[in-house]
Amino acid sequence: MIRVVCSRGTRCLKWNGFCISVHVKTIASFGYNTNVPDLKVSSSKSCTVQSNQVKSGQRKQLCKLVLDHFDKQYSEELGQLWTTAREVLLDPRCWQYGVMLNRFSESTELRQLLQTQDYSSLLPQDSGSLQCFVHQSQIRFPSQKHQPGQLKQYYLLNAASLLPVLALGVRDGDRVLDLCSAPGGKAVAILQSATPGLLHCNELDCHRWKWLAETLESFIPQALNDAVKVFNLDGRLFGQIEAGAYDKVLVDAPCSNDRSWLFAAPQQGALWLQERSKLPDLQTELLSSALAAIRPGGTVVYSTCTLSRAENSAVVERILTSCPNTELQDLGGLARSLSHHFTFDPNSKFGILIVPEKGRTWGPMFVAKLKKH
């Protein structure tokens, strides 16, 4: 197990006699209360749902280089489904956003507001404490600002982001690692779905690590302070420093983020495409580290937000070939139970792939589940 041997801010982990410097924040120090003023249903401007219009002057510029690259690759890999997804991805005005409620900051008025605005529940009402509301059209709630001392009432997200969390199936008391955690949407969703015995959230990038810590501060009450910790490590280390320590690990891997790459500045797009071929190796190493970090019988969920076969099924296939004690779990039941909300690629191998489509613009999201024997 990780031993925190220094105090305040930067701490050291003892591993094989080495001391690894790491930022560790417990949520304990943030001291947030849950007494937030509820949203005003009718009169407050701040809670009026907005049309998801991209104002003139703020229109995102398409990166032609990335689009050409995607057109070539994805039309080969997805055929007609790429035509469908392409139409959605190229038009941010038609993107939809789910509203995930914060069970630690319940608001009857918010629920009423969602009802009066014709939002419906993404998940069956009896499916537990994780609740997300979606709308058929492209209206959008305003994001809530971070306010020290107040818990937020909801988190806006691409509803497909909940599938990795649903696939992970965290139960009360589980020891859970979220290996690539910033900005923290899936960590928040895990804490909505159950009360893990511990949740370790890790992020390599320092800026994003701070963002992650802030997200957790905004959504988690003091009662969970001892269970939730935030790490700033390379996820590839966890397999060694925390071997066998977890019941469940989520690897929401760094990937070609298809939605944002399409709107990259030209130089940035060129750089990303140049670096893209290195991603499958990094993803395989992260997944391998996650498998080493779970106990026998434990499970790992691997997810990305790209359509790229090299970063999805090919990564999982590589792991299955190189780790004989690893077994692929069937996610067909989960996909079928949500098929009225999401469009799945019928030809996806080694996991399920949500492909955006007009009217159900969720995704891209690839999810695979592995069990270690």
Annotated binding site for S-adenosyl-L-methionine: 180-186, 203, 234, 252
**Nearer of residues 252 and 345 to ligand SAM, judged by Cβ:** 252
Q: How far is the CB of 276 from ligand SAM (least distance, A)?
A: 14
Active site residue 201: no
184 scored as a contact of ligand SAM (CB under 6 A): yes
**Nearer of residues 39 and 155 to ligand SAM, judged by Cβ:** 155
Return d(Cα 184, Cα 203) in angstroms, integer: 9
Return d(Cα 27, Cα 230) in angstroms, integer: 8
Q: How far is the CB of 51 from ligand SAM (least distance, A)?
A: 26
Active-site hit among 6, 19, 305, 323: 305
Restricted to residues 293-322, the positions that interact with ligand SAM (CB under 6 A) are none
**Nearer of residues 39 and 196 to ligand SAM, judged by Cβ:** 196
Question: Which residue from 38, 87, 214, 234 is in contact with ligand SAM, where contact means CB under 6 A?
Answer: 234
The whole-angstrom distance between residue 350's C-alpha and the CA centroid of its chain comes to 19
Restricted to residues 71-110, the positions that interact with ligand SAM (CB under 6 A) are none
Question: Which residue from 185, 196, 356, 364 is in contact with ligand SAM, where contact means CB under 6 A?
Answer: 185
* Two structure tokens written together for 338: 């949500």
Q: How far is the CB of 149 from ligand SAM (least distance, A)?
A: 23
Return d(Cα 130, Cα 171) in angstroms, integer: 12
The residues near 70 (Cβ < 8 Å, ≥ 6 apart) are: 82, 86, 258, 261, 262
204 scored as a contact of ligand SAM (CB under 6 A): yes
φ, ψ dihedrals at 117, nearest 5°: -90, 10
Restricted to residues 153-172, the positions that interact with ligand SAM (CB under 6 A) are 161
The residues near 251 (Cβ < 8 Å, ≥ 6 apart) are: 179, 180, 235, 283, 286, 287, 290, 300, 301, 302, 303
Question: Which residue from 236, 318, 341, 371 is in contact with ligand SAM, where contact means CB under 6 A?
Answer: 236
254 scored as a contact of ligand SAM (CB under 6 A): yes
Return d(Cα 301, Cα 290) in angstroms, integer: 9
60 scored as a contact of ligand SAM (CB under 6 A): no
* Two structure tokens written together for 253: 């891997």
Question: Which residue from 217, 242, 252, 311 is in contact with ligand SAM, where contact means CB under 6 A?
Answer: 252
Q: 373: exposed, middle or buried (C-beta count within 10 Å: 0-12, 13-18, 19+)? A: exposed
208 scored as a contact of ligand SAM (CB under 6 A): yes
Q: Are 288 and 312 in contact (CB under 8 A)?
A: no
Tokens 């891209």 locate to: 364
**Nearer of residues 227 and 233 to ligand SAM, judged by Cβ:** 233
Residues of the shown chain interacting with ligand SAM in the complex, contacts defined by CB under 6 A: 161, 180-186, 202-205, 208, 234-236, 252, 254
Catalytic annotation, residues: 305
